Amino acid sequence: MEENHKEDGNGEVMADIPLEDLSLTKNENDAKRRSTESSVSSKDAEIAVTSGKQTYQPISNFETMAHLLKGNIGTGIFAMPSAFRNSGLWVGSVLLPVMAIICTHCMQMLVKSAAIMKKREGDFSISYADVAETACRTGPPQFAKYGRAFSITINVFICITQFGFCCVYLVFTSTNLQQVVEYYTELGWDVRIYMCFLTIPLIFLNWIRNLKLLAPVSLIANVLQMSSIVVVFYYIFRDPLPPVNSVPAFGSWGGLPLFFGTTVFTFEGIALVLPLQKDMRRPWDFKGWTGILNTGMVIVTCIYIAMGFYGYLAYGEDILGSITLNLPQDEVLAQVVKILLVIAICGNYAMQFYVPIPIIWPTLSKYAARYTSNDLAAERAFRTFMVLVTLLLAAAIPKIDLFISLVGAFGSSFLALIFPPLLEYVTQAPNVSKITITKEVLILVFGVIGFGTGTYAAILAIVQEFSGSD
User: In this model, does residue 308 exceed pLDDT 90?
Assistant: yes
Q: Determine the average pLDDT of the residues in 415-444.
A: 93
In whole angstroms, give the CA distance from residue 272 to residue 265. 14
Least confident stretch, 7-11, 81-85, 357-361, 418-422: 7-11
CATH class of 74-467: mainly alpha
pLDDT of residue 442: 96
pLDDT one-digit tens code per residue, 237-282: 999 999 999 999 999 998 999 999 999 998 877 877 887 787 788 8
Share of the chain above pLDDT 70, in %: 86
The band of 121, judged by pLDDT with boundaries at 50, 70 and 90, is confident
| Top-confidence residue, 46 or 388 | 388
- The pTM is what? 0.80
pLDDT of residue 123: 64
Spans of all domains in the chain? 74-467
261/289: higher pLDDT? 261
**Cα–Cα distance, 30 to 32 (Å, whole number):** 5
pLDDT of residue 4: 41
Which pLDDT score is estimated for 194?
A: 93
Mean pLDDT of the chain: 83
Amino acid 43: pLDDT: 38
Is the pLDDT reported for residue 33 higher than 50? no
Q: Could you tell me the pLDDT band of residue 470, with boundaries at 50, 70 and 90?
A: low
Query: pLDDT exceeding 90 applies to what percent of the chain?
Result: 49
Position 31 pLDDT exceeds 50? no
Does the pLDDT at position 355 exceed 90?
Answer: no
| Burial of 217: CB neighbours in 10 Å, binned 0-12, 13-18, 19+ | buried
pLDDT in the model for residue 63: 80
125 band by pLDDT with thresholds 50, 70 and 90: low
Strand partners, 280: 59
Comparing 113 with 17, which gets the higher pLDDT?
113
